[in-house]
Amino acid sequence: MKKESKANTEESRFDISDEVLDQLLKDYRKPEDLLGSDFAFGGNDYVLKSTDVQNQVGLHDILFAFEFGGRRYYFLCNTIEHTKVWQCDENYRPLKEMTRDEFCAFLFEMYRIELPHTTFRDIVGRYFRIYGRDNLDEHKPLGTTRGEVPKKAITALMKLLAAYAAIHDLQVAFEKSKNERDAYKKAQDFQFIPSVVKRQLQDNEKRIEELQAELAQLQANSGNELMGLETDQADRIADLRKRLTTAKRQKSRLLSQLSAIESDIGYEKQFPESLFDVATSPDNLRARAFQRLQSFFPEVSLRKISDMEAFHKQFVGVLNEEYEEAQQRHRAYSRNCVTG
């Protein structure tokens, strides 16, 4: 049997014998067969990704065996409970049930794999190249799934070549530090802890030093003042200081009240003149303003407004007398707070 092909516009001929073609057809295995082999090595794509098998074949068992040290180990698994594997006798009667992870650990041990920090599936499953899986990208030959980060694939290859142990501790320390940093940043984002920039940190440290210096100075002064005094005298001084602090607070409050009273007393001084007198004085600017107001509202009686102002003036006078008395009382009391 002869076949012809063209390459680079030049004809080339090659011959494939019937025997070679028969051998190629004999060795050809369908993707379902390859996925079945992967299934026997602890994979699960035969169930999860081979839809033709599920639609055309349905529920079925897969029987397989491994030989280690001249002894055969028989196993059975099915497409329904695909996360379980049964160890069997030579007639494939189930003897022991195990999870797929336990089965992979068994193979890891029986193959005498002594590579640290890796698993049996990471060694075997990553390198099954089968149609229908997501690892057929020729530009990313180490990847197991579409979208896998290159770092993970490179790490798996380093483990396979026993080159990962040298950086394992550094990688663990890096991941721990990264997780701690991410947790710290999230805590700041949610305002569980305050966010402090470098400049603010420096200012805070400087302020702490200043306060510590002031505290040391106060402690030194306090020690010098009380040095050589009897216990009763020192207690008396401490009590007087406490009373002095209370008196100062009372004085501050009274001065605030006194300021409010003096402000009220000055209210009447803002309007010393009668509105009627202001309105009728020809030389007063406000008089001209009232005359313009009366031009808009002719019915307004400036006399009545002046009478109301006179009553208001008397009322304010009474209040001012009371304010002045309160002012004198507060001034006297505030002086007594410290001297009394």
Are 257 and 332 part of one and the same domain?
Answer: yes
**Half-sphere exposure (CA, 13 Å, Cβ side) for 93?**
2
Q: Is residue 271 part of a domain?
A: yes
Q: Residue 15 in contact with residue 2, Cβ under 8 Å? A: yes
Range of the domain at 258: 232-339
Supply the mean pLDDT for the chain: 75
CA-to-CA distance for 54 and 41, rounded, in angstroms? 19
Residues 11 and 112 in one domain: yes
Q: Same structural domain for residues 324 and 284? A: yes
35 and 147 within one domain:
yes
pLDDT of residue 108: 94
Do 207 and 145 lie in one domain? The reply is: no
For the stretch 41-50, pLDDT in tens is 998 888 888 7
Classify residue 185: in a domain, yes or no: no
Asked if pLDDT for residue 167 goes beyond 70, the answer is yes
* 127 and 204 fall within a common domain: no
Q: Within a domain: residue 169?
A: no
Q: Is residue 174 part of a domain?
A: no
pLDDT class of 333 with cuts at 50, 70, 90: low
Residue 322 lies in a domain: yes
User: Same domain, yes or no, for 86 and 107?
Assistant: yes
pLDDT digits (tens, 9 = 90+) for 112-162: 998 898 999 988 888 877 777 777 777 887 777 777 888 888 888 888 888
